[in-house]
A = this chain, B = another copy of it.
Amino acid sequence: PMAGDLDEQRIIELVLQHGPPQGRHPLPDHPAALPGDDAALFAPQRVVTTDLMVEGVHWDSRSTEGDVGYKLAAVNASDIAAMGCRPTWAVLTLSLPRPVAAAWVEGFARGLGEGLGAFGARLIGGDTTASPGPVFAGLTMAGEGSAVVGRDGARPGDRVWVTGTLGDAAAGFFDGDPAGLAWLRRPRPPVELGAALADMGLVHAMMDLSDGLARDLARLCARSEVGAVVDPSLLPASPAVAALPAARRLQRQVAFGEDYQLLFTAPPAAERAIRRLGSVLDVAVSIIGEVRAEPAVCLQGAEWPEPMFDHFPVTGRPEGAAR
* Contact in complex: B125, A34 (CB < 8 Å): yes
Say which residue of B48, B52, B58, B123 sits within 8 Å of A16 (CB atoms): B123
* Contact in complex: B123, A25 (CB < 8 Å): no
- A15-B48 contact, Cβ under 8 Å, with A124-B34, A134-B132: no
Tell me the complex Cα distance, A315–B167, Å. 42
Residues of B within 8 A of A25 (CB): 86, 88-89, 120, 122, 144
* Contact in complex: A3, B102 (CB < 8 Å): yes
Of A1, A3, A127, most buried by chain B (CB within 10 Å of CB) is: A127
* Contact in complex: A122, B39 (CB < 8 Å): no
**Stoichiometry, copies per complex:** 2
* CB within 8 Å of B: which A11-44 residues: 11-12, 14-20, 22-25, 27, 33-35, 39-42
A281 at the interface (CB under 8 A from B): no
Secondary structure at the A interface, as helix, strand, loop or mixed, is mixed
* Contact in complex: B19, A116 (CB < 8 Å): yes
Q: Which residue of B lies closest to A92 (CB)?
A: B15
* CB within 8 Å of B: which A183-197 residues: none
Tell me the complex Cα distance, A94–B11, Å. 9
Tell me the complex Cα distance, A49–B105, Å. 21
* Contact in complex: B319, A132 (CB < 8 Å): no
Residues of B within 8 A of A94 (CB): 11, 15, 52
Nearest Cβ on chain B to A69's Cβ, whole angstroms: 8
Nearest Cβ on chain B to A100's Cβ, whole angstroms: 4
Q: How many residues of A contact B (CB 8 A)?
A: 88
A306 at the interface (CB under 8 A from B): no
- A54-B133 contact, Cβ under 8 Å, with A11-B94, A120-B24, A123-B15: yes
Tell me the complex Cα distance, A124–B11, Å. 14
- A42-B113 contact, Cβ under 8 Å, with A51-B127, A54-B133, A133-B136: no
* CB within 8 Å of B: which A83-120 residues: 86-89, 91-96, 98-103, 105-106, 108-110, 112-114, 116-117, 120
Nearest Cβ on chain B to A298's Cβ, whole angstroms: 30
Give the top 9 A-B pairs by smallest Cβ distance, nearest first.
A23-B122, A133-B133, A18-B113, A3-B102, A40-B125, A24-B120, A20-B117, A140-B140, A130-B319
Interface of A with B (CB < 8 Å)? 1-6, 8, 10-12, 14-20, 22-25, 27, 33-35, 39-42, 48-52, 54, 56-58, 86-89, 91-96, 98-103, 105-106, 108-110, 112-114, 116-117, 120-134, 136, 138, 140, 142, 144, 314-316, 319
